[in-house]
Structure 1
Amino acid sequence: MRNFSTGTVYLVFVIFFLLVAKQSEGLRVFTIINECKQTIWPAVTPGEQFEGGGFALKSGQSRIFTAPVGWSGRIWGRTGCNFDQDGNGTCETGSCGSALKCGASGKPPATLAEFTLASADFYDVSLVDGYNLPVVVTPVNGNSNGGGNCTVAGCDGDLRLNCPNELAVKFNGRTVACRSACDVFDTDQYCCRGLYGNPVTCQPTYYSKIFKDACPGAYSYAYDDPTSIFTCSDADYIITFCSKRKEKVCAYHGNRLVCSGASIINSFFSWIVTMFATIISLWIWI
């Protein structure tokens, strides 16, 4: 049997500690999937120590990026874009000026996936700024820690099909987006401000009810909290455009294929086995 010095055992312990720290170093993995029939241009708002940006995503393609705990921002899809080789251009919906890589929020109307990353993450899909694409947010391997709603959020209905004419944004005769009533009419009642700046006085309106009927898992107006805010701990996220809320989605997380609904317990034990295998390999090597 091989003898190991105290220093060797200590080194193995340190390596194990670093591996554990790496596992929870404060990064969330985001996978963006385009299931729309056409190319879209997802955009991500930047934050401290996080660049955000934007890119083209053809039908069927996906893109992975990480964001640090502490980031609070939005992800949305732009449509009908035309960019030159320098990343300058225009979009029919969701544009952030003329840039491919967004440095700030986009122009309404756009369906927004909103995140605040902390020890417990908060996320939602919002139609408060209008609608341009179906968006679904699926947490992967997250947990609610006994509270919160760690489930699928989003809007899989197509509001463009029944958007009231007074809210419709048209391009070449077709409806490409649906504006919010606040954006169109700019009144305190529709914008939940002034005397209507609280959840008691700001109630659902005719227009927000149309949004809610089409997208029950999304914010339809500013105080639509009870059914529209979601909370997860230690989760990664899959953002799918033009998907269904109950559709099973899969992505690579932690160098393995993980699907929505996968058991966090199975993931935990898989990780433990991997860690022990790594330690044994290092032990033999040392």
Structure 2
Amino acid sequence: MGQTFGDLLRCCCCNSCTPASRWRLKSLIRNTTPLTPTPLRLAFLSLTASPTLAACGPGERSVSFVNQCVQQVWIGVTGGAGDACGAKNSCPTGQACNTNNNTCYYTLGTPAAGGYGLAAKTGTAEFCVPAQTGATQWSGNVFGRTGCDASGNNCQTGECGGSPCPPGQGGNPPVTQAEFTLQTTASDFYDVEIINGFNLPMEMKPTGGAPYKSVPDNPYTCGNPGGVTPLNDTLTGCTWTFDTTVGGTDYASYLRMVAPADPQTACTADSDCSGGALCGLVQQGASLSRMCGSEIGWWSGDQVCGVDPTFGAPFNCGQAVPAANGAFGTVANLFGCVLDKTGKPAAQSCYTDGASDTCCGCPNWPYPTDDGKTCQAINSAWTTSVQPWVSFLKNACPTAYSYPYDDKTSTFTCQSQAATNAVDYTITYCPG
């Protein structure tokens, strides 16, 4: 029997899910029907902004947001799952009940300062995460929603079906996500993730709250994934600039996400478009096609194959993977690091000691890993069919999670000196 949506959120948001679980969770989130958005050109500008912090109470953790983009951004939240809820059992403080499945999910609740809609260039907000008696204080992910109406709905990216996202439901990918689990007496885990594509540059970083626990020098300890500043001499900052040339060919029309123009016009290149429109990929239901429109983000090969497992060139999602390279079945499964078996079990990570060449991965990125370990094996089919598209993402942001087993260069931890973890965080849209 497969895992439910709540089960997947519970394990994945606590940093304990398998790649199969992560892939299925993202598939559930992305396989909702998007609306057809109105055109809006996505632009980024880095400006200096600092949140006006409220005073969070004892034991609470501050999570602040800063919008440095040239457009308004609405905060999206996908909370991890907790206990069952219903008429006779309400959710604990800091969680809300989704009555569709009677499950509690972490929420950020009402901001202590600001609101969910962040004004262009200067918008800020702060949330006070309630103290908890259990091991986990908060778990889930946050993202940015763009091109929304005045109420923060009907968005071009991060859309939730024309309404506020209910507890536990994420917005339609592609969206950039900051994923984090805040723990009461242990290290927090956090990352910036673009496995399923990109809609906004994002950075997550600790911003005080308490002195950090003393640890050996490690860029993945209390660092800032998604930030533009290098973490050391070899772990560079993110340019958030996407080079669409893969293998010597420009695939911009397949990688660019656009809001289609009105009237809709099919295209194969920018030269087919007029009025400043660009050629890119558009999702309509379960199908993908190239149309002229305004740029609103970038697709990943993993997300394209998740929407349409039969999508052809250049991703070749339905292409067979040789049995000698593992029981993946198709390239779509190879993107997700899952096997072509009942329940889509996880493939072996190529970072695992004793891994064979039927594992999933593995790129020896030109960046340090969190523990110094490099690939223990390499799957040639993955290197040929998947790595070029993963590199498209990773080159734009070396500290971002770019494929399901990218933990070694993407997972960050932080803990305060005191027995109770009290580190606060700031998430910035369009950092710089």
- TM-score with structure 2 setting the length: 0.47
Which whole-Å CA distance do the structure 2 matches of 1:223 and 1:159 have between them? 23
Are 2:67 and 1:34 equivalent residues in the alignment?
Answer: yes
Greater CA drift, 61-70 or 122-131? 61-70
Instruction: Give 1:230's match in structure 2, choosing from 390, 394, 412.
Output: 412
Which whole-Å CA distance do the structure 2 matches of 1:81 and 1:161 have between them? 27
Q: Matches of residues 1-286 of structure 1 in structure 2 within 5 Å? A: 23=58, 25=59, 27-46=60-79, 49-50=93-94, 51-52=107-108, 55-59=116-120, 60-68=122-130, 69-84=136-151, 89-100=153-164, 102-103=166-167, 104-118=169-183, 119-141=186-208, 143-146=212-215, 149-154=221-226, 156-159=238-241, 162=244, 164-171=252-259, 172=261, 173-186=293-306, 187-194=332-339, 197-200=347-350, 201-203=359-361, 204=363, 205-233=387-415, 234-244=422-432
Give the match for residue 257 of structure 1: none
Give the match for residue 260 of structure 1: none
Task: Label 1:144 to 1:210 Cα distance change in 2 as closer, same or farther (>3 A).
Answer: farther
Which whole-Å CA distance do the structure 2 matches of 1:217 and 1:46 have between them? 23
Q: Percent identity?
A: 35
Q: Deviations over 1:76-128 (max 9, x none)?
A: 001101145xx6x3111111222235522111110000011112110000001
Task: Label 1:216 to 1:176 Cα distance change in 2 as closer, same or farther (>3 A).
Answer: same
Which whole-Å CA distance do the structure 2 matches of 1:78 and 1:160 have between them? 20
Q: Deviations over 1:163-188 (max 9, x none)?
A: 74323211132221212211212411
Secondary structure of the equivalent of 1:71? strand
More helix by share: 1
How far residue 241 of structure 1 moved from its aligned partner, in angstroms, is 0.4
Which whole-Å CA distance do the structure 2 matches of 1:125 and 1:198 have between them? 23
Task: Count residues in correspondence.
Answer: 218
- TM-score with structure 1 setting the length: 0.69
Greater CA drift, 191-200 or 46-55? 46-55
Mapped contact 1:143–1:232 kept (Cα < 8 A)? yes
Mapped contact 2:74–2:117 kept (Cα < 8 A)? yes
Mapped contact 1:131–1:159 kept (Cα < 8 A)? no
Please list every run of 5 or more consecutive structure 2 residues that lacks an aligned counterpart in the other structure: 1-56, 83-92, 95-106, 110-114, 131-135, 228-237, 245-250, 262-292, 307-331, 341-345, 351-358, 364-386, 416-421
Paired letter, 1:115: F
Query: CA RMSD of the aligned region, Å?
Result: 2.4
Please list every run of 5 or more consecutive structure 1 residues that lacks an aligned counterpart in the other structure: 1-21, 245-286
Paired letter, 2:223: T
Larger CA Rg, structure 1 vs 2: 1
